[in-house]
A and B are shown apart, each in its own frame.
Chain A
Amino acid sequence: MNAAAPTLGVVMLCHTALDRAAQVARFWLNAGCAVALHIDSAVPQAQVAAMQADIGAHPLLRMAPRHRCEWGSWSIVAASQSAAELLLRDFGSIGHVLLMSGACLPLRPAAELVTHLRAHEGTDFIESVAVDHADWITGGLSRERFTLYFPFSWRKRRWLFDRMVDLQRRFGISREIPRPLEPHMGSQWWCLSRATLEAILTHPKRARYERYFKGCWIPDESYFQTLARLHGRRIESHSLTLVKFDRNGRPNLFYDDHLQLLRRSDRFLARKIWPQAENLYRFFLTDQASKLAPVPAEPAKIDRYFELAERQRTEGRAGLYMQSRFPHDGSGQALTAGPYSVFSGFDQLFRGFEYWLGQATGTRAHGHLYAPEKVHFHGGAKIWHGAISDSAALRDYNPRMFLTNMLWATRGERQCFSIAARDHIPADLMWFMAKDRNAQISVVSGCFLLPLFRGEFRPDDLLAHVALLQKREQHMLSVLQSRWVQADVRVWTLAEFLQAPERNLSEVLAKMLPDAAVAGTNQPEMQSLDGLEDFLKELRNKGLPPVLLRDFEGRSGAI
């Protein structure tokens, strides 16, 4: 390109990290582009002087009249206008003017952009979306930006800003939009053709439009975007600058480790670069990029990268409880990291139930995780994934987090365990599991009697013991049958279950493994229940209220 006749003019709006801005300015100047530097008037004169000395005198460099550019204020537009005017006046050869900030970084060699623009003479590259269709506006105002009054700063006087908006809405206040303007919005970083810019800047109604836009909210996102629609002949409605906004509407910063990501961008510039990202500046401002094999543009990859970050902030990882994520019970998030199955009574009915369950389903089948004496992990392990101890004291210190920790640490492998009336399951843990969509809870009630019946355990006071267990089981069942249950709960009485044990078991397994052919697997061996009637009769005769024994009704006429 002929240095005397630049075809591209660059307007740079700078307010911090002037050394980086100077570096970028040099990049454009060296490539034969004209540069107009706008330095915020809040920057001390000494720094401006240092920056000018840093760049040195250059025939293509202009210093634009300085304004105080506050976020979202008209002064940003005014600064862009005066700097662009300066360039158009001084360099008659300029075909396009690019607006960028001092924290933007070119992603491709300048010549590539110049060639691109030459091939698109008279085309305006400006994101310009009709305001009624702008769905990307996050949580802010859309059409009302153009029809309300905004006497208070959104950043500094948020409360007053909101009240003013409410007030105007209530009284139906609406400013008139000057004809023939059609409100459009879009990224504030554009690249406009000389024809369009000159039409905007020399239009007879410019003063009228300016008065109007000064009263709009965030005019730097709408002034040029609206007027380009009025004057532009060909509009490419996308910005040449890559900007990714976070949930607060601030641009995400790019760091050294984003280098490979930025190389995949299909844009010409990126905003906003962390000033100390030395590698990025070195890579993109030198010819380093051209030495490497070009990578195919994959803008979707960049979008995905930032979407994932956003999702981690808003939704987080299900089932994780940690220092910076501690969802309260009503947050509506999944309570645990993955599906799990809880069994009650099955291990009393079937011999070697856990072993069989693990074999038949390929899941991890533990024993009674909440047994009073210790945690019965699979295979009697003393320690489990995540270094979770089998100590009952540690578990009972925070029973709920014992469960969530274990499920988090074993993500990807379904965990199964047994509970019983004698286990240490506090009410809040029972509620937690009952409300957990990941839980599958299958209960055969009344099975707590079976160890007593078999004589595996002989309490001093049998009746008191039975009454206690009965009470606990009743509580468990009342939770599981409440209307707040979200878990997949199935409850049988012992008598009900025994009517078709094989079918009932198959049903439970089918829900665990919907795809697998569970039907074909062998059933576990039932324990003998001969003599149970006599045991129950004995209990009743000792004085146990018959109501407690109703779970067994129907099994035998003797009761």
Chain B
Amino acid sequence: MSAQAAIRQEERDESYYLASQWQLMWRKFRRHRLALVGMSIIAVLYFIALFPEFLSTSDYQLRHSGYAKAPPHTIYFLDDDGVFHFPPFVYEMKQTLDMETLQRIYNEERDQRYPLRFFTRGDPWKILGLIETDIHLVNVDKPGVVFFFGTDEFGRDMFSRTMQAARISLSIGFIGVVISFVLGCLIGGISGYYGGIIDVFIQRVIEFLISIPHIPLWIALAAALPANWSSTQVYFGITIILSILSWPNLARIVRGKLLELREADFVMAARISNMNDFDIIVKHLLPSFASFLIVALSLSVPFMIISETALSFLQIGIRPPAVSWGVLLQGAQNIRALSQSPWLLIPGIFVIITVLSFNYVGDALRDAADPYKQ
């Protein structure tokens, strides 16, 4: 080892002892390659959720006549003569009816090519509902159409719908977690900080809520939402229903930690300096185990996303015309639809990828937050 390398090594060792708790966590987190991949995927997914129109190739509500239940387009780089094309292209799809089975069959028209155009102009949309623009990531020239994920029974483009659905599916996990975070911290905080009879009561309520099977109760609550509510109201209703049953777990963690910490010297110091209870909980106690909270939160987001998908799939969650991944999966509800158009399951793949990413990140966070693990 050269002298310089030795010095650098020494500095690195030194920086380990000087690093703050968060820096240490980040170091440990970085070592989980899969978690880093998961984090990037989550970033991409939330980009989709923020700007679904940018990625859409057509309006997600538009019914393309003559393209019902069309399979996904194949993207070609080589044409029939073996000539390489960039950008790649798709062939025109033509619908014919099989007179025996009365099913639609789609064939590629080899003489009509539509090259994919990047950053092309199309339907106008508003960035975050504010700035108007008409730039889209990728599309083909009119009158061509391209369906990366095929179409549903009404000829609506599944790709654009999947992009649009990301907005509700991903935000419901996020907002739901925020609500259950506030509830969990507040109730768990009260329970752990005061102890005694309040604690016993809250703990019994929590045990009761945990012992009820979630899905039947969710189904019951979701089915109780009035039928005449607008999509937005239903959206918030579902979010609240999902949070109702997920705060108890968080409340338990908070309580356990508070019981451990409330005897600590720094709490006594704060109390002697005449700080009120609420401030002690919020300013001193919660930050001291913030890392545990973040882990619990990152692990409960996927849980919410799956639950929303399941409720919408059963047609008692998000209601059309609003779309979430669960709503899109309704199309794949029976074996016949599934065997005819298996591409209707693609939104489900998005659910799986999202949940996997959150799980990997949450898992790595848990390792990183554990101060006894090197």
Bind each other: no
Q: Which residues of A contact B (CB under 8 A)?
A: none
User: Which B residues have a C-beta under 8 Å from some C-beta of A?
Assistant: none
